[in-house]
Amino acid sequence: MPRGRLIFDGDNVYTEKQKRIHKLTPEVEVKIDNIPGVVDDATSISTTDALSARMGKVLQDQINELKSMWRFLSTWDCVNGLPTTDPLDNPYDYRIGDYYIVSAVSQGTNYRPMWATYIHWQASTAVETETVKINDWYLYDGTHWILQSQSQVTIVIDSELSTTSTNAVENRVITTALNTKQNTISDLATIRAGAAAWATAIQPWDNISELTNNIGFQTAWDVANAVAWKANTSDVNALAWRVTAVEGTVATQWQAIADLQQSGWSTSQDVADLKNDVADIKGDITDINTALAWKVDASSLSTVATSWNASDLNNDAGFITSAAIWDWQVAIKQWWFNKWAFTLNQSWATTVELEATTVISETAYNQLQTKDPNTTYVITKEVV
């Protein structure tokens, strides 16, 4: 069998010759061993294999789709129904996630984006039926434009404490309340007892008759009746004079009786009559003495008579006098002008002249020789 000779030329870079063996260099062998495998799905969790070209395209398509979502297009003018700026493509096909931010609204009719395609400067005719505000969003879901309100929630904060409000309260209000509160009320029972007593006690401006008159103050009725039953000074003096005269007469009569009896005239009828007269006089004297026993000393009567004024008594109960009443001011006005003012308790009077009002024609007014300074003239135009 013929033999042939095969010559291997090694370049000493990728291959080498060791005696009669031609082989790859160790470096090339390592690189070939480290070539990763190819995976044609997106579910592998391998850390050394590579994806196939087909899976690369699938991923790129998904990336492109994601890049097109949630893309800000421009601001939207609801008044004109147009975006503030146009996209580069014309027409522009809207994609899922495209959105506008509202920059202008009208108090009247507002217009929302419409259709799935936008043509430059072709205004929308779709009327917005909901309330739209500046900074709201219009989002495209692939079929419809959705209005997304961006209004912030307003939190109402009270500036004072309340037992009915459900709002939050300022921190400084709570801190001030805590810093000024009383930690412990040691005399709470005493305070409550005092409050209970005050609720049932006589209050200012209550009637004096609600109090018990334990000191025995006299009312105006008591004083009036006492004065009505008093004896006048002249009556007492006349009564005393009569007593003195009767006493002198009785003394004289008794002396006459004694003289007659000594002379033996005791059986005479005159003596008997005289004794009867004396007995009557003695009865009168008895009645007079009884009356005098109830008489009032003249000095006392004088004191009672002159003490009828309340100013002569000690006002220990603190009754209000006329001097304590304020001097209220009374103003006299005519129309909206102040004419005069005086106090209620002044001792002199003032005559206040008020102005009269007269309707007069201009001709008659000009013909007046003297015009009353206290009269207001309402001048009218004559009808020609």
Q: Read off the amino acid at residue 285.
A: I
Instruction: Calculate helix-pair angle for 298-306, 220-228, nearest 10 degrees.
Output: 140
| Best CA proximity match to 361, nearest among 330, 382, 346, 375 | 382
* Cα within 13 Å of Cα(97), Cβ side: 7
Beta strand extents in the chain (DSSP E only)? 15-18, 21-24, 38-39, 50-51, 72-77, 82-83, 92-93, 99-104, 111-112, 117-118, 126-127, 137-140, 145-148, 157-158, 168-169, 329-334, 337-343, 356-361, 375-380
| Dist. CA 292–CA 299, nearest whole Å | 15
Q: Please, what is the average pLDDT of the chain?
A: 75
The predicted model gives 313-322 an average pLDDT of: 58
pTM of the predicted model as reported, rounded to 2 decimal places: 0.30
pLDDT digits (tens, 9 = 90+) for 104-118: 999 999 999 988 999
User: What's the confidence (pLDDT) of residue 302?
Assistant: 45
User: What's the confidence (pLDDT) of residue 307?
Assistant: 43
Indicate the range of 110-114, 249-253, 322-326 predicted with least confidence. Answer: 322-326
The residue with greater pLDDT, 76 or 27, is 76
pLDDT greater than 60 at residue 252: yes
Tokens for 227, please give them: 């004065």
User: What's the confidence (pLDDT) of residue 304?
Assistant: 42
pLDDT digits (tens, 9 = 90+) for 174-208: 898 888 887 777 788 888 888 888 777 777 777 77
Tokens for 8, please give them: 């291997």
pLDDT digits (tens, 9 = 90+) for 218-230: 777 776 776 666 6
User: What's the confidence (pLDDT) of residue 303?
Assistant: 46
User: What's the confidence (pLDDT) of residue 245?
Assistant: 65
| Best CA proximity match to 98, nearest among 79, 117, 81, 111 | 117
pLDDT digits (tens, 9 = 90+) for 340-353: 676 656 656 667 66
User: What's the confidence (pLDDT) of residue 75?
Assistant: 94
> Residues 253, 302: contact at Cβ < 8 Å?
no
pLDDT digits (tens, 9 = 90+) for 267-306: 556 656 666 766 776 676 676 666 655 554 545 444 444 4
The residue with greater pLDDT, 139 or 335, is 139
User: What's the confidence (pLDDT) of residue 34?
Assistant: 82
